[in-house]
Structure 1
Amino acid sequence: MHPDPLAWWQSEFGEIAPRGHLLRRALSAKWVRFHSLPDSKRYAESLEEYAEIEHRHHLVASALFNAGEPLYVFRAHHDEARLRGKARHQLAGRQFREALAVVPPISLGQDKEDRMYVRAFVSKWKPDFFEAAIRLLADWKEVGVSFVSPSTKNILCPYDGGMDVFTYSIAPEELRALFADWRSPRPDGL
């Protein structure tokens, strides 16, 4: 039987959608944020800066995930319709499985109209599409994507400008120390 990442997510995290800013509120003790570029620069302007983004994301992900480990890849959006025919939701050429991923909206707990639609697929670390996915997220061509280990519950939520990390297998303080230069100087860590 193929694993159902959406059922797993709901059993572990309930109605919290797999988005960094939402998880940060609920899992603040597990949260660490890292910036993708020096001086908190948000967008790359050169090949060297894109290489730095990929380097940082790869190192942080490698601290969270083991080689060949199964990963769930989630995408959570507001009001995302099911695509019909040959059109399918995808990330960097990997298709979200409609049969597994279409679920009732996960409530954000504010009101009944404010909901997220979550889709998912199963992959492995190091997925062949990771660099392409990070590039799309860094350029804000994709949003709301999370990489999650079902064995450790570690979560990586890349976004344009950085990544929110929720760690269960390594102490957040240890992760902060490993990549201290990539953190914000702000006291709140943002």
Structure 2
Amino acid sequence: MTKEDFQKLWTLNYPDTVPISYLFKHDYTDRWFRIHSLPESKRYPEDENEWQVLLSRQNEIITDLFGLEPPILIVTGEYNWGDDRQIHITDEEEIFKQFSFVRLDNIELHKIDAEQYDEPDIYRPAFAQTIWKPNYHDKLLREIANDNTRVFFISFDKKVIVAPYDGGVDFVLKDSLTKENFKNKYRQWLSEREDGY
């Protein structure tokens, strides 16, 4: 898949946002929901038993959404705060060495949130092709759960975004009915907060 292919599919499927995962819950509230990775909304695992609970939950629901061994994309990137640093997270982090990333156009962050970002601040997204299968990405899921990196998975074919973070997983599904069906199926893993966070 080329950069142009990705951009075309992104604009077609997600015209109201950019490929930065923390924005999804604001830009697609009708199709978004979240599960927590550990009982009682505990944020970080403290032992191997809790890691197994986290990985079991995440693998179960992600496999339920994607299916077995479909082609998917992983999307990540790095922030640049206006200086001349040339940081390339996809080249420098060991966890990403197995993937072949394609860089996307820089995102000018001040155009998204002028209060939070200055004019030179940019985000450099990149994507790579892979597959989803249970436990295949456990090492990456552990890094995300430890807040060492940020990645989301996407299937344009299934219209599913899966965005793990340190504490749980955000999902954007194809429509609100599908979202409600999955929310109900995994209701024991939902946040108890009114806003679903």
- TM-score for the superposition, normalised by structure 2: 0.81
Aligned length: 184
User: How much has 1:128 moved relative to structure 2?
Assistant: 6.6
Unaligned stretches of 5+ residues in structure 2: none
Residue identity matched to 2:86: A
The separation in 2 between residues aligned to 1:64 and 1:39, in whole angstroms, is: 23
Residue identity matched to 1:45: E
User: How much has 1:126 moved relative to structure 2?
Assistant: 1.5
Residue identity matched to 1:177: N
Where do 1:81-92 residues align within 5 Å? 81-83=86-88, 87-88=91-92, 91=95
Q: Does residue 168 of structure 1 match 2:170?
A: no
Using the aligned pairs only, state the percent identity: 23
| Residue 90 to residue 138, structure 1, CA distance change in 2 (3 Å) | same
Q: Does residue 35 of structure 1 match 2:36?
A: yes
The separation in 2 between residues aligned to 1:138 and 1:34, in whole angstroms, is: 13
Q: Does residue 154 of structure 1 match 2:157?
A: no
In the alignment, which residue of structure 2 is the partner of 1:110?
113
User: How much has 1:23 moved relative to structure 2?
Assistant: 0.9
- TM-score for the superposition, normalised by structure 1: 0.84
Please state whether the residue corresponding to 2:193 is helix, strand or coil: coil
Residue identity matched to 1:48: N
The separation in 2 between residues aligned to 1:135 and 1:10, in whole angstroms, is: 30
Write the deviation string for residues 10-53 of structure 1: whole angstroms up to 9, x where unpaired: 44324733333201111000001100000110000110100001
The separation in 2 between residues aligned to 1:83 and 1:30, in whole angstroms, is: 31
The separation in 1 between residues aligned to 2:87 and 2:184, in whole angstroms, is: 42
| Residue 114 to residue 24, structure 1, CA distance change in 2 (3 Å) | farther
Q: Does residue 181 of structure 1 match 2:188?
A: yes
Please state whether the residue corresponding to 1:187 is helix, strand or coil: coil
Please state whether the residue corresponding to 1:103 is helix, strand or coil: coil
Unaligned stretches of 5+ residues in structure 1: none
- Contact 1:154–1:165 (Cα < 8 Å) also in 2: yes
Q: Identify which of 107, 130, 137 aligns with 2:137.
A: 130
The separation in 1 between residues aligned to 2:47 and 2:134, in whole angstroms, is: 25
- Contact 1:96–1:119 (Cα < 8 Å) also in 2: no
RMSD: 2.6
User: How much has 1:68 moved relative to structure 2?
Assistant: 2.2
Please state whether the residue corresponding to 2:30 is helix, strand or coil: helix
- Contact 1:92–1:129 (Cα < 8 Å) also in 2: no
User: How much has 1:105 moved relative to structure 2?
Assistant: 2.2
User: How much has 1:3 moved relative to structure 2?
Assistant: 4.5
The separation in 1 between residues aligned to 2:86 and 2:126, in whole angstroms, is: 11
Residue identity matched to 1:94: Q
Q: Could you list the runs of 4 or more consecutive aligned residues of structure 1 that deviate by over 6 angstroms after TM superposition?
A: none
| Residue 95 to residue 15, structure 1, CA distance change in 2 (3 Å) | farther
- Contact 2:103–2:124 (Cα < 8 Å) also in 1: no
